[in-house]
Structure 1
Amino acid sequence: MPRPERPLDQEDTDLVAFAADLRQLRVTAGGPTYRQLSATAGYSPAVLSQAAAGRKLPSLAVTLAYVRACGGDTEHWRARWQAISAAAREGEAEAGPSPYLGLGSFQAGDADRFFGRDQVLTELLALVEARRFVGVFGASGSGKSSLLRAGLVARSAAAGQRVTVTTPGPHPLLACPTGVDLLVVDQFEEVFTLCRDPAERAEFVAAIVAAEGGVVIGVRADFYGHCGRYPELVAALRDSQVLVGPMTADELREAVLRPAVRAGYTVETALLSRLVADAAGQPAVLPLVSHALFETWRRRRGTRLTLAGYEEAGGIRDAVASTAEQVYLKLSPDQREVAKRIFLRLTALGEGTEDTKRRVSHETVSGTGPEVGVVLEALVRARLLTLDRDGVEITHEALIRCWPRLREWLTEDRDRLRAHHQLTDATEVWRSLGHDPGALYRGVRLAVAKDTLTEASLTEQEHEFLARSAKAEADEQATARRTTRRLRQLVALLTVLLVVAGTAMVTAINAQRSEAEQRNIALARGAVREANALSAANPALARQIALAAYRLAAIPETRDSLLSINAAPYASRLTGHTASVGKVVFSHDGRLAATASDDHTAMLWDISAPHRPKEVAVLAGHSEAVLSVTFDRTDRKIVTSGADGTVRLWDVADPARPRQTAAIEQRTGKVNAAAFSPDGQLLATANEDNTARLWDITDPQHPRQTSVISRHTSIVSWLAFSPNGQLLATASSDNTARLWDITDPRSPRERAVLSHPAIVSTVQFSPDGHLL
């Protein structure tokens, strides 16, 4: 008969409660002996007995083996073990600063513990010495920022150079210093993800390319194609690029060992081998390695970093997520909601690219909830966020990729998040302009913000911005109503005058015929002048006044005015875009119109009543100007192309609820035009890289490129299919139009070259296909 277990201590501690619950779990499982548990768990009876003794916390591996043998929930017990372990560590006095940074990038002051990048640093220093402008490219997490700051900046500053490091942010021109020997622009991709003004973006690129001193830009590799949209940037980067790839096994060993040895720690051989094996072949792994090492250091045994501590932390794959989840679960329910709002505000949503981090001001973050200070302190202490005098940001984008809870938040409602980020940026601009009324929302943007965003998610400044926007729009509408009312009063006055004049003429027709006629003529001539003055601004009212004048006095002046005003075209204005409109197209049935604008949107309009056009829907998704918009033959599909290098397919079977079915990221610079084939099976695009491309869109959700047409020597500006779909015509800035036989879309054949004395901006076939 087995001996009874020793009673637990009477202390009310987490460790004693943990042991008591382990014992209860064994009772619930039917009370097996420790010898019986040993056969299933793989540990000796003595080890399993000690795990539930309450004297010290067992290892995670022993705990999970005990729980599995008793049929318990391993994830629940893993979380409990990690919480107790973390609490125990917080009570220990740290011997000194960690030799590892965690998720944070190395700064210039960390150069003495920056190891493993000697080869690429030597290459970069030599290139900076030889070239005035250099680009450093690499995947997120490849170590670009650390190489630039702890490598290049530290070495250059030590050599006596004046060096400035900056990140672009939403207004890169404000972060463009002058009078330095070397300007380092880290996270250059923010020019494309955070800066919303194409003009400011282009001006910033031109400024750094023309800078007097040396310039080095650090760019995430998936934004390489975006750089190709600026010719001056392409020229500056030619033969001046460094690619930061993954570390070799030897480099990784050096990066792990040398900081530890320098700080007086040792690294178990088994841990080093496991780290190198786990990191092998994984892109963007360096911040994960650094964080796993930081958490392993927190779980060290004396001065020794162990494999057990590494596994306890969750290893490379789970360490970041584990840290974030532990910090999050320690917060109260209200604090968790504040944390969620903070992380969503600090993430920029990608358009065809990965989501990225974004820096926001202290004022913006402080409005996310009443306990924001407590939450920020917890997140900064865990190195998940970085807080400085300029603002708040996620420490590294690896957190966005690796924390499942954050990924789930980001996929819940991306349209709402995108609208909220746009509101935050607009509020910042409005505040920076001294609350200029011209920066407030109006029209569609105001309606979308009011319909999409909840009051609880907004900061005080955002509340004020929306309230001021609504008031400004209401004031403008009231002014418009007053103007209309005055015009109607004028019509009523003229009508009264007409009645009075008619009555006077009837009562005094015999005695005062001549005098009445002259008075009526004078009134009618005045009305004619009023009608002519209003004909451009308000043609409908001008028609009414001209008709009243003619009825008052049928003289040549009133007749000519009435005829000329009625003969003029009746223009109906389509208002809704916030920037210039470059393209307008009609559906084949004439019931819809589509417009493409520099405000990054296309819009659908119901024109079934031409004098009363109505806005139907906004097609949002492009990050730069929309250059073209086209209906297919059935009017059920639309394609848009943009200066952001993307082509987007839309299902508009229900025009009021358009649905994007696909987004094609071409990486060819601007896409000037796109067109459907008559049978709707092919899509053709005209590109800034001197090519036209054919796409199979039989499956509209998965377009597939079939061929590239590359005979033009300059930008392809427009293209068109023949009515039978067997020919494609392309127009180009190389002064030619070309005809292509696309009977086999996989192998287009050139049929003719049509030369012109100047650039060819557009092409179109006649309805019978005999003329071009």
Structure 2
Amino acid sequence: MPRAERELVRDGTPLVEFAAELRLLRAKAGTPSYRDMAGTAFYSASTLSDAASGRKLPSLAVTLAFVRACDGDEDKWEQRWHALAAELNESSAMTSAEEFRDAPYVGLRAFGPDDAHRFFGRERLVAEIVGRTQRLVLLFGASGSGKSSVLRAGVVPAFAATRKTTLLFTPGTHPIERCSVLFANELGVTTAAVLDEWHDDRALHRLVSQVSGDREMVIVVDQFEEVFTLCDDEDERARFIAALATAANTPGSRCRVLLGMRSDFFAHCSAHPELLDALPEGQVVAGPMSAEELRRAIVAPAKQANCTVESALVADLITQAHGRPGVLPLLSHVLLEVWVRRSGHRLTVAGFQQAGGLDGALSRTAEDVFTGLAEEEQQLARTLFGRLVAPGEGPEDTKRRLDVTELGDAPGLAAVLEAFTAARLLTKDLDGVEIAHEALIRAWPRLRDWLHDDRESLRLHRRLTDATDSWESVGKDSGALLRGAHLALTLDWAGRHDAALSPREHDFLEASRSAEIAGGRRLRRLVALLSVVTLVAITATVVAWVARHTATEQRNAIRAQVVAEEAAELHRSNPQLAVQLALAAHRLAPSQRTRDGVVSTLPLAVIRQADVISAADVSPDGRTLATSSEDSTVRLWDITDPQQPVEITKLNGPTEMVYTVRFSPDGRTLATAGFDREIRLWNITDLRNPALVSTLSGHTENVHSAEFSPDGRTLVSAGWDRTVRLWDITNPREPTVAAVIDEFRYKLLYAQFSPDGRTLAVVGDESVIRLFDVTDRRRPAQVASVPGHAGGVAQTDFSPDGRVLATVGRDRVIRLWDVSDPRSPAALSTLEGHEEGVYMVEFSPDGKTLATAAGDRTARLWDVTDPRRVTELVSFTGEVDTVQAVVFSPDGRTLITGGWEGTVQLMDTDLERTIAHACDHVRTVLTEAEWDRYFPGLGYAPPCPG
């Protein structure tokens, strides 16, 4: 039977009422199925169903097709559609003018200096940047990590408060000109006069001295990647970078330079020794925000506006956003949309759902604006966004500022600009327009489809636009016109895309065509001249190579590191390419990080599920894997062959997210627990037919952990209700409560027995580890309380001999304790390396290796043979986001990890064997084109020859 249509909640809003009227029309037609309607309407069943969903305004064409399939009056519905579209556009404009004015959130745009009072959560990162002693600092971060906001609303106000002169700008297509405009304003002279000063690398140093005098100046260049994406003049790029480095590094300089750029442009820095010299001491990384930082970013701005955020919404947002790269623009946008939909002074879960959720709000906003446009305006929107994006060659697509002179004056363009600007998807000023944030490029499926379909066309158009700019910048000199094959290709493209050209591009092409006809002899002279120039360039290249020979190894090391990281990201889509890239990077410049990259691309197997993997465990015989996820299910897998896991069955008993799964010591029973506040015991003697044996009830909030005692006769559970419960399960069908420990003030996350069953470790949202003597199960007694972490403690694990306890927490460190005498725990060592909170820790069966899992997308192995002198063995990345589960097989040969992307990976713990057999996974050899893309300038040397 077809799935029933989702119930429409009539809330009185125009869009929902429109959908209700469409459904009523369908009902009057006898409620034909959407599949039958599709045959008449020539649109898919899902498109017609979406039209009546009330989530967005369908296009006019889809609306009329829906009406036609139901024998409705098309003229009447066309008038109804236009009236609603006008109403929604008017409502959007009103929202922009009224609701957004005093909003505590900024949406897609970056926080600016004027927003410093409502910029929260990044205090630690701002302090790290401001406190750096290096005078040239590079801030790296993924797109959407909040780099611009950190610089503009955090760093600039912090320096201004200490009376330092700050200059903030983005490079654009001509960074030297941009920089000169700012200095001209400071000096009260013309820009031309400042440009005349740029004779050598010390130009900027001299300008700083003229402006700042005895005061320190801070030059902040945001979106520094524009130097590589928008500035096509390599000479200007090199001069600008050299001038920045000289201004910062000249002895006695009073200038500091801060550069903010996307991390995928890290490798570009290796081509410039001035930037290379600043690494790694001058490098700062804007990583994902911690849970506490996210909470401040969500709650504090609302508090300033005398509003509150529902605790359930805060928890939901933190859960979805924590550890996700590039999520901050989505978070900021959805908070703004929830603010618009607030209930009185409360930001609610209902408003969050109406906005479309964290991942859907931005796409919904963009789609609502687009579908509200007339058909000819929609085509203009496609052309406009094509100009607003710079298609990527290696790194992902980037936004591009569109100068007002490039906009043109097509009828309807003003309405398109106003609609997207009112929704804060575009930002516009007197000089031009740009996309508010690159997150829109990733989040809006329609825009992604446009870019995919038109990529080569857009690249050709960008080259035409840049050539037009250059032609006009030199007074329309004929030497800047297109010639030969490039002109022919551009004219052919223009003939098919005439509507996309601006008047100035038309003029440029016409001038190029005319010059081509009359310029035969000039062309031959130009070829001769280019030959000379090429010879000079070759000579210069040889000289430059000799001069930079000492930097070659450093550049290779950086390139190898970047490729190794890219290889891990590629594994999902192209595992054979990923393996070869990682192996080639390791051979180019062997290091711990490139070695990590190789093993991360070589899992024994990958299991992909639809939801977050919350926990995993392996049966005592090593043949069965249990995984739990947010879809309220537990799955059992046959991993007898770890390279070919096979799903055995699925347990559907729980009603909410399952947070823990554990096999009993004899392997006959499985315990599950989670957000429905109950613990379930399953008889898994027959793995294909698990039977629910009993349900343990008593916790009043989420049960976060459930662990068996070594003898299997007791189960301990810990929950958010601040209690630990000991259950006598000698008879699993009739469990009884042996004891309840309720002396805690914080939510509990984990409780675990020592290998001898005499000691219980309990941890949670406080910074201490508590140890209890549970020799008498009915009378547990606390014997030690150890303050060990800065913040909550997520989990513990005893070594197999019971002498060492490992603890992990939100402070990103792992601590080892000597618990030979549980009454007097002693610190052994502190392990550092993870960049986000650590969620899980487990000793290997032989006690010589420790595995940890964290929010920084890694699982790490540590050599703990000597717990006082621990060394890191490997850091696995692979296809996971936040890693929330890690467990060894009983023989210690396999490590299983699970993460927020619904991925379970089985890894071989014999690292040398893994690397030695890397090429066994390769069937298609790395091509020369692929090699040149990732290792430009290096001779073709595939690591796995065919």
Counterparts of 1:458 and 1:580, CA distance in 2:
33
Q: CA deviation at 1:444?
A: 1.9
Q: Secondary structure at the match of 1:200?
A: helix
Match of 2:429 in 1: 388
Q: Which has the higher helix share?
A: 1
Larger radius of gyration: 1
Match of 1:288 in 2: 330
Unaligned runs of 5+ in 2: 1-11, 33-45, 59-83, 184-206, 248-252, 540-544, 546-555, 561-576, 589-917
* Aligned with residue 377 of structure 1, among 400, 418, 436: 418
Aligned partners of 1:133 and 1:237 also within 8 Å: no
Aligned partners of 1:29 and 1:71 also within 8 Å: no
* Aligned with residue 153 of structure 2, among 150, 154, 160: 150
Is 1:341 the counterpart of 2:317? The answer is no
Match of 2:229 in 1: 193
* Aligned with residue 263 of structure 1, among 288, 305, 308: 305
CA 16–140 in structure 1, closer or farther in 2 if over 3 Å, else same: closer
Counterparts of 1:214 and 1:428, CA distance in 2:
33
Aligned partners of 1:135 and 1:242 also within 8 Å: yes
Query: Structure 1: which amino acid aligns with 2:151?
Result: L
For residues 19-48 of structure 1, give each alpha carbon's deviation from its aligned partner in whole angstroms, at most 9, with x where no partner exists: 4444444455669xxxxxxxxxxxxxxxxx
* Aligned with residue 228 of structure 1, among 245, 262, 270: 270
* Aligned with residue 136 of structure 2, among 118, 133, 137: 133
Query: Structure 2: which amino acid aligns with 1:348?
Result: A
Q: CA deviation at 1:366?
A: 2.6
CA 205–30 in structure 1, closer or farther in 2 if over 3 Å, else same: closer
Q: CA deviation at 1:100?
A: 0.7
Query: Structure 1: which amino acid aligns with 2:263?
Result: A
Aligned partners of 1:89 and 1:299 also within 8 Å: no
Is 1:251 the counterpart of 2:296? The answer is no
Is 1:77 the counterpart of 2:53? The answer is yes
Match of 2:112 in 1: 107
Q: Secondary structure at the match of 2:138?
A: strand
Query: Structure 2: which amino acid aligns with 1:109?
Result: D
Aligned partners of 1:348 and 1:355 also within 8 Å: yes
Q: CA deviation at 1:233?
A: 1.3
Aligned partners of 1:142 and 1:244 also within 8 Å: yes
Match of 1:467 in 2: 510
Aligned partners of 1:427 and 1:461 also within 8 Å: yes
Query: Structure 2: which amino acid aligns with 1:78?
Result: G
Q: CA deviation at 1:232?
A: 1.5
CA 665–199 in structure 1, closer or farther in 2 if over 3 Å, else same: farther
Aligned partners of 2:145 and 2:286 also within 8 Å: yes
Q: CA deviation at 1:431?
A: 1.3
Aligned partners of 1:137 and 1:243 also within 8 Å: yes
Bigger RCO (CA 8 Å, 6+ sep)? 2
Query: Structure 1: which amino acid aligns with 2:130?
Result: L
Query: Structure 2: which amino acid aligns with 1:316?
Result: L
Is 1:403 the counterpart of 2:444? The answer is yes
Counterparts of 2:937 and 2:21, CA distance in 1:
76
Q: CA deviation at 1:365?
A: 1.5
Match of 1:736 in 2: none
Q: CA deviation at 1:76?
A: 3.5
Is 1:298 the counterpart of 2:298? The answer is no
Q: CA deviation at 1:449?
A: 0.8
Is 1:362 the counterpart of 2:404? The answer is yes
Root-mean-square deviation (CA, aligned residues, Å) is 4.3
Counterparts of 1:123 and 1:12, CA distance in 2:
47
Is 1:121 the counterpart of 2:126? The answer is yes
Q: CA deviation at 1:581?
A: 4.3
Counterparts of 1:126 and 1:366, CA distance in 2:
46
Q: How does 1:537-552 map to 2 (within 5 A)?
A: none
Counterparts of 2:532 and 2:17, CA distance in 1:
67
TM-score relative to the length of structure 2: 0.46
TM-score relative to the length of structure 1: 0.56
* Aligned with residue 443 of structure 1, among 484, 492, 499: 484
Q: CA deviation at 1:391?
A: 2.3
Q: How does 1:499-578 map to 2 (within 5 A)?
A: none
Is 1:237 the counterpart of 2:279? The answer is yes
For residues 419-440 of structure 1, give each alpha carbon's deviation from its aligned partner in whole angstroms, at most 9, with x where no partner exists: 1001111111111221121111
Counterparts of 1:470 and 1:272, CA distance in 2:
61
Is 1:331 the counterpart of 2:367? The answer is no
CA 597–465 in structure 1, closer or farther in 2 if over 3 Å, else same: farther
Counterparts of 1:162 and 1:252, CA distance in 2:
31
Query: Structure 2: which amino acid aligns with 1:464?
Result: D
Q: CA deviation at 1:370?
A: 2.1
Q: Secondary structure at the match of 1:322?
A: helix
Match of 2:176 in 1: 173
Query: Structure 1: which amino acid aligns with 2:412?
Result: E
For residues 485-521 of structure 1, give each alpha carbon's deviation from its aligned partner in whole angstroms, at most 9, with x where no partner exists: xxxxxxxxxxxxxxxxxxxxxxxxxxxxxxxxxxxxx
Counterparts of 2:268 and 2:348, CA distance in 1:
44
Identity of counterpart residues, as a percentage? 41
Counterparts of 1:132 and 1:12, CA distance in 2:
55
Counterparts of 1:72 and 1:450, CA distance in 2:
41
Q: Secondary structure at the match of 1:210?
A: helix
Aligned partners of 1:645 and 1:665 also within 8 Å: no
For residues 424-465 of structure 1, give each alpha carbon's deviation from its aligned partner in whole angstroms, at most 9, with x where no partner exists: 111111112211211111112211111123221100000001
Query: Structure 1: which amino acid aligns with 2:362?
Result: V
Counterparts of 1:303 and 1:172, CA distance in 2:
45
Counterparts of 1:358 and 1:118, CA distance in 2:
30
For residues 112-133 of structure 1, give each alpha carbon's deviation from its aligned partner in whole angstroms, at most 9, with x where no partner exists: 0000011111111101xx2211
Counterparts of 1:479 and 1:702, CA distance in 2:
37
Q: CA deviation at 1:396?
A: 0.3
Aligned partners of 1:111 and 1:154 also within 8 Å: yes
Aligned partners of 2:16 and 2:54 also within 8 Å: no
Counterparts of 1:184 and 1:452, CA distance in 2:
40
Aligned partners of 2:159 and 2:166 also within 8 Å: yes
Q: CA deviation at 1:14?
A: 7.2
Q: CA deviation at 1:12?
A: 14
Query: Structure 2: which amino acid aligns with 1:291?
Result: H
Q: Secondary structure at the match of 2:519?
A: helix
Q: CA deviation at 1:174?
A: 1.0
Match of 1:98 in 2: 103
Counterparts of 2:322 and 2:458, CA distance in 1:
35
**Matched residue count:** 485
Aligned partners of 2:308 and 2:347 also within 8 Å: yes
